[in-house]
Homo-oligomer: A and B are copies of this chain.
Amino acid sequence: MAITPAFDQASRAQMPALKVAILGFGTVGSAVARILCDQPAHSPLRLTHVYNRNVERKRVDWVTGDVCWSSNIDEVLASDADIIVELIGGMDPAHEWISRALTSGKSVVTANKKLIAKHGPELSALACKHGAALSFGASVAGGVPVIDALQEGLAGDQLYKVSGILNGTCNYILTKIESEGISFEEALVEAQRAGFAEADPTDDVDGFDARSKLVILSRIGLKAIVQPEQIHCDSIRRIGAIDFTYSHELGCTIRQISRAERREGQIYAAVQPALVPIDSPMAHITGSLNIVLSSGKYGGQTAFSGHGAGGHSTAVAVVSDLLDIARGRSGDNVRPQIAADVLPVTGNFTSAHYLRFTVHDRPGIVAAIANTLAAHSINIDALLQKPGYNKDALPFVVTLEQCPTEQLEAAMRDLRKLDFLVHAPLTMPILTKEL
């Protein structure tokens, strides 16, 4: 059998450039336009349409003259554009517009993690049906080409675990708390001021953004279809400088960790703040950086890190997807043979745990906690208490030996009833270097 990609390439070379329409001319959209306008003359891509609400206020002089600026989505979707770049975000109307574009045979490149997490398989099937491509390399870890790496570069492996620091906002906030000893609230304000957090930070700090990305990584890397709602999320809102103090004493730091593992016909998955050893790859990721780790049956652990957000990094991922399509390949639909399975999802990881209590001090507290844990067959590993705190709100930390999360949760239900607690204890898993 002859393989003739060079012939395909030759015919491509004689074809006109693919026409690209950008929907949404914000930070990422304008960065994509900038890169497209910077391409050499023989580029296989040409920017032809920009859609935005009230597009006139978006118009810039560095975009070449023959681009159509439009506030009419019907006009753009009915145009001769070959590829639609969807950068408006959110579920609606992005879902409808992408569906319409694919149905009309246009390919779509999107950075919309929320939409792809929820409707990726359905949209990929739609793309496939209409002979179009759907690529979403920009939806996870921005400029770090991890989707491509899991899908292509590690295609020869059988991946069973993906994990990472997938939300730059959380990482920025946590490393601010760590380096400056400030509170979560103060760090959040700093992140908002620096443009790393939204006015409403819920999606980021409560884990929903990272969860969408984990769903996509699970699909691409673990070949498992998971719904976002199936994955347990813990917020980082309760992490304070004191938790870093205790973590450091344990040879660890704290990061928002997203992890998913395919094991015995199930997907183990969670997004939560966790203690990670100070010499682990995760611990070295500071500020708004992202990292993704994958573990494969044959190749062991591989790590990818870089700028996960920002207009330019995300735009690189978008343009890489565009070039991919221009080369006659596409994101997801060229390999329907790699089917993803629908698997049950659990958050019942087994690990050591960190418990931070804040109590009204009185005799018998440690005994009460120890008895409750013992009643649930959970072993205490260590008890840490720094001096110098007010006895009315005395913080201390208990670390536990390995146990399943569900076993701990049962114990926590009893622990939360103890009358000396100022507020509910904070729990975090303590991960090993390999996660």
Contact = CB atoms under 8 A, between A and B. Distances in A.
A1 to B, nearest CB: 5
B156 A318 contact: yes
Nearest to A303: B305
B2 A333 contact: no
A154 interface: yes
Given A153-B320, A281-B284, A323-B156, A313 B299 contact: yes
Interface stretch (A12-20, A238-246, A411-419): A12-20
Interface in A42-71: 42, 44
Interface stretch (A3-11, A90-98, A168-176, A208-216): A3-11
Interface stretch (A125-133, A265-273, A387-395): A125-133
Interface stretch (A184-192, A196-204, A324-332, A370-378): A324-332
A3 B330 contact: yes
B320 A152 contact: yes
A408 interface: no
Given A5-B133, A6-B333, A131-B6, A156 B322 contact: yes
A105 interface: yes
A120 interface: no
Interface residues of A, number: 81
A82 interface: yes
Nearest to A314: B299
Question: How many copies of this protein are present in the complex?
Answer: 2
A296 interface: yes
Contact of A3 (B2, B107, B305): B107
A224 interface: no
A153 B16 CA distance: 23
Contacts of A35: 156, 298
Contact of A82 (B3, B132, B144): B3
Contacts of A274: none
Contacts of A146: 153
A363 interface: no
Contact of A329 (B5, B129, B323): B5
Contacts of A137: 153
Interface in A99-131: 105, 107, 127-131
Contacts of A315: 156, 298
A336 interface: yes
Most buried by B among A306, A317, A318: A306
A363 B263 CA distance: 69
A362 interface: no
Nearest to A18: B1
A296 B306 CA distance: 11
Contact of A316 (B6, B107, B157): B157
B302 A306 contact: yes
A9 B335 contact: yes
Contacts of A154: 143, 145, 316, 320
A108 B368 CA distance: 68
A31 interface: yes
Given A3-B105, A149-B304, 17 more contacts: A1-B82, A3-B133, A5-B133, A5-B328, A5-B330, A5-B334, A6-B131, A13-B336, A13-B337, A31-B298, A35-B298, A38-B158, A143-B296, A145-B302, A298-B312, A301-B306, A327-B329
